[in-house]
Amino acid sequence: MHAVLVTPGRSEAIIAPILVQVAAEGRGRVRFQGISAFDDGLRAHIRRDIVPYVDQVLGELGISMPRLAISIANPDVTSMADAGICVSGFSADVPLTLAMLSAVLGVPLRQDVLATGHLASCAGDIGMVGSLDQKANAAAKSGVVREFIYPALDSAGGSLSSESRERFRLALRDAGRCVRLRSVTTLAQAIGYAFKPYNLLCGALRRGYWGRSTDGASGVLSCAGEGVFKEMLKRLLLRGEFEKARQLLALWVEHHACRGHYPPGTGKLLGDTLASMPSAILRLKAHFPLVPEESILRLASYATAEHVEDFHGLIRANGGESLRCGSDAKTDADAEAILDLVLSELDERTLQIEIHAPLDRALNAYPLQEDGDLHSHIVAFYVAMVVELGGTLSERTHATDAYALVGEAYRDLGGLKAAIADGRMPGGRRRLIERMYAAMAKQRVENRVQFVFQQALDPLDYQTKLAVTQAFIRRFSDALPESVLSQPAERFAQHWEELVRHWVASQAYVRKHLYFC
């Protein structure tokens, strides 16, 4: 968790991460460590006010507070001189409290959030702190902070002078162009901004305090109410985030099985949500069963007569049974959603991991020599690329395949004959294998794109294919040639391979994803 501090003699606030870890057993509830120090007054305040508050919140969740080690990372401005800062005052109360809760509960904090504020009461009220204008400016200039949590102007524990209030208002106006501003009056509100809801819910289910409290900070941490789980599961499934949905559902099942309780309505929720999703999303993202069947069966002994129907629905939905296969795209928005899902399988990171990184390894590791047999170099480099990509080689055809790739690489430069002539020129072998690399990358990307589109779209009805085709052409009109744009979308709805080939070959796509000319 990041705190924002103002040190004497500096006109600008500095951002410093606060680090809290569960410590080995020893004397005291907390120990302080690191080069940067907390002054005596702040240490007393932490022990007297913050530790009891954290202990109270954890107690409401049924969690005992262990001994904690607290430090503040050395900001760059002081680490250059190998010196530490001395932290005083109340500005670090909110980030410190959040970091302590995070360490004990095992729930990660967001790393793009900056917080300041005074823990002003045992009820979790957040009070005013000084130099808020400098702190808002630091948040805006950081380049990494996306949200700034700060005390509301009418917070408890003091007020700003009219001059300070105006400076802060102007600083907030400027900072609001770069970061999202979150004014808070209680720690419960700060928790809602500092943690991702998904992480909070998973933490509550994993540690067993889900729904244990409904009030204040502990209520936010416990994610009380089945509605929170159901809304989160539905949101993840509809976004196609199946891995997260699988983890959440598994924690939900385990939580209730450990407590000997069947969660009513779970089968209907899962079945209805999956049934409402375009089948293209299910084919691309879902891997059934979502949760191991033995985990689901653990709930069987806890299902009463009124739960039997829902339990059988849970088994069917978890296994992907009885999902509808109708028209997917009822509106342009549906077609755009299907297209987004298809393209998410072709994002730059996926292509880099699956295609470009292996080819880079082959290119960088290949022991290129400007002498020796050119034929051997061509075949050896082709083999190296296929092996890095995890492919299989045919002893009968790998040499032929290598020369076919060379011919493709030089297709617009005179073909295979021109490639052999180029390879015999000074520096030509380097050019030859680089063009082989580029041609292999293009082929593999095109194959990957064709596979993803075929898997997602082939089983769809014609109207859905047409709607997605129209959405694709609209979105990439700048990257597609006039020969495509002048044709009706109906021509490509059943023949995506032609559209994909044009798209992959377009210079806009090549520059963005393939990194070769």
Residues 298 and 250 sit within 8 Å (Cβ to Cβ): no
Taking the C-alpha atoms of residue 459 and residue 450, their distance in angstroms, rounded to an integer, is: 14
As a whole number, mean pLDDT of residues 482-492 equals 87
As a whole number, mean pLDDT of residues 117-146 equals 89
pLDDT at residue 13, as a whole number:
78
CA atoms lying within 13 Å on the CB side of residue 24: 0
* Cα–Cα–Cα angle for 221, 226, 232, rounded to 5 degrees: 75
Asked if residue 284 has pLDDT above 80, the reply is no
β-bridge pairing 14-22 and 2-5: antiparallel
Q: Which band of pLDDT confidence, cut at 50, 70 and 90, is reported for residue 479?
A: confident
Q: Where is pLDDT greater, at 163 or 302?
A: 302
User: b/e for 95-122, b at 16 or more Cβ within 10 A?
Assistant: bbbbbbbbbbbebebbeebbbbbbbbee
Q: Where is pLDDT greater, at 332 or 289?
A: 289
Nearest to 69 by CA among 40, 95, 96, 42: 96
Asked if residue 281 has pLDDT above 70, the reply is no
Q: Compute CA 234 distance to the chain's CA centroid, rounded to the nearest angstrom.
A: 18
pLDDT at residue 236, as a whole number:
86
Length of the chain as a residue count: 517
What would you report as the CA-atom Rg of the chain, rounded to the nearest whole angstrom? 30
Q: Where is pLDDT greater, at 517 or 15?
A: 15
pLDDT at residue 61, as a whole number:
96
As a whole number, mean pLDDT of residues 249-261 equals 93
Taking the C-alpha atoms of residue 411 and residue 398, their distance in angstroms, rounded to an integer, is: 20
Q: What is the DSSP letter of 514?
A: I
Taking the C-alpha atoms of residue 33 and residue 19, their distance in angstroms, rounded to an integer, is: 10
Asked if residue 225 has pLDDT above 80, the reply is no
Residue type, 454: Q
Interval 79-124: pLDDT, tens: 434 455 677 888 899 999 999 999 999 999 998 899 999 999 999 9
The structure's pTM equals 0.66
Contacts of 30 (CB under 8 A, 6+ apart): 46, 47, 51, 67, 68, 69, 70
pLDDT at residue 507, as a whole number:
43
pLDDT at residue 107, as a whole number:
96
How many angstroms separate the most distant Cα atoms in the chain? 85
3-class SS of residue 236: helix
Number of other residues whose CB lies within 10 A of the CB of residue 303? 19
As a whole number, mean pLDDT of residues 354-375 equals 81
Q: What is the DSSP letter of 186?
A: B
Q: Which band of pLDDT confidence, cut at 50, 70 and 90, is reported for residue 256?
A: very high
As a whole number, mean pLDDT of residues 351-357 equals 78
Interval 383-439: pLDDT, tens: 988 888 887 787 788 899 999 999 999 998 999 999 999 988 988 888 998 999 989
